[in-house]
Amino acid sequence: MAIATDYVDIPILAKMKAQVLGISDNCVRAMMPFAENTNHVGTMYAGSMFTLAEFPAGVLFVRRVDTNKIAPLVAEMKIRYRRPATSNLYIDFEISEEDLTRMEKETLSLGKSYLISEQKLKDESDEIVAIAEAKYVWLKVP
């Protein structure tokens, strides 16, 4: 059973019908449906693929930190599209407990922390269709 994207207040995710399929302390599994996100040539729209690479981090970070004290943001992201996507896409966004603990401690003591993470978008046959690399920055809320 799919879990709604109610974890974050980003209305476009509902329009795209993006879904959080599972969540734990360190991992978010999400899906972007093909049917609602096609482009002019019948493959998945690149912007939808980018969104799938980007939003699960926010879901996990908002679940893990007190956003009254820490503002988790994506500072930089690049994506390499390996091949056209013609089915639903999935991502398993995972960050170690060690990195999450380090980021929280650094942010609260130094005012800022960051993490670089690589994520893979996979299609229905478990083929990698895109690879994203993101720099996440956590800022201490004044």
CATH code for the domain of 24: 3.10.129.10
Rounded CA separation 26/15 (Å): 26
Q: How many residues does the chain have?
A: 142
Rounded CA separation 62/30 (Å): 15
Asked, for residue 94, whether it belongs to a domain, the answer is yes
- Give the predicted TM-score (pTM) of the model: 0.90
Asked, for residue 92, whether it belongs to a domain, the answer is yes
Asked, for residue 51, whether it belongs to a domain, the answer is yes
Q: Could you tell me the CA-to-CA distances from 33 to 9, 11, 73, 91, 123 in Å, in that order? A: 19, 16, 25, 12, 10
Asked, for residue 100, whether it belongs to a domain, the answer is yes
Asked, for residue 123, whether it belongs to a domain, the answer is yes
Range of 81's domain? Answer: 11-140
How many structural domains comprise the chain? 1
Per-residue pLDDT tens over the stretch 117-129: 999 999 999 999 9
Q: What pLDDT is recorded for position 4?
A: 46
Asked, for residue 127, whether it belongs to a domain, the answer is yes
Q: What pLDDT is recorded for position 7?
A: 55
Per-residue pLDDT tens over the stretch 54-95: 999 999 999 899 999 999 999 999 999 999 999 999 999 999
Asked, for residue 91, whether it belongs to a domain, the answer is yes
Closest to 82 measured CA to CA, from 136, 38, 44: 44
Asked, for residue 3, whether it belongs to a domain, the answer is no
